[in-house]
Amino acid sequence: MTIGGIEFNLKLTLLVILTTVVPMLDYYGHKITGTKAYDRLIFYFLIPMAILLFLFRERPADYGFRLGNWRTGLAFVLPACAGMAVLLWFLARTPDMQRYYNAKAPDNTAYLLYITAVDLWGWEFIWRGFLLFGLARALGPGPAIFLQAVPFAFMHLGKPELETLTTIFGGAAFGFVAWQSGSFLYPWLIHWFIASFTMLVASGRLG
């Protein structure tokens, strides 16, 4: 598509617009189901998936929606979770983390694990699937890995400062894992563990 002598990649343009507008809708509290995690599943998973299937007419597998290389994926998941468990055992006990996550953590542990998994499924798909693999086609994987981490980092504003400042690096690490494994599933597993473990430690249910 050419406008005013400037050529625009239509798919890349739509990708950037969608991944900018959808977080704004989430931030301003637009409700669909009345439950934040289910709304995010719609915003971050179902809407991008519909774009892929019906507008782009492409295979979701080409955007990380597949099992991928599970050996490579698990080789990242297991050490990452173990390392983060040690780190978060101390960090999640700091006053800022306790204050924030005590207010966020559901009382029922089983529900906490379930709703966190639902909440992060869409988040990981839109950043480490839809955006990462879409950007990589036009820009290559190196720039894509860091660029997809930018909106992810900004979505952490309002959380404890130390956590937010690390998310550009954490988001890039998640992107690296997704690209190496060919799937968003493995960053989702790591992120699910980190978020759940943080809430359980901060709320005093572990240790």
Determine the residue type at 66.
Answer: R
Q: How far apart are CA 128 and CA 54, in angstroms?
A: 20
Q: How confident is the model at residue 207 (pLDDT cuts 50, 70, 90)?
A: low
- Give domain limits for the chain: 2-202
205's CB contacts (< 8 A; 6+ apart) are: 109
Q: What is the pTM of this model?
A: 0.96
pLDDT tens string 3-40: 888 888 889 999 999 999 999 999 998 999 999 999 99
92's CB contacts (< 8 A; 6+ apart) are: 98, 101, 197, 198, 201, 202
Q: How confident is the model at residue 1 (pLDDT cuts 50, 70, 90)?
A: confident
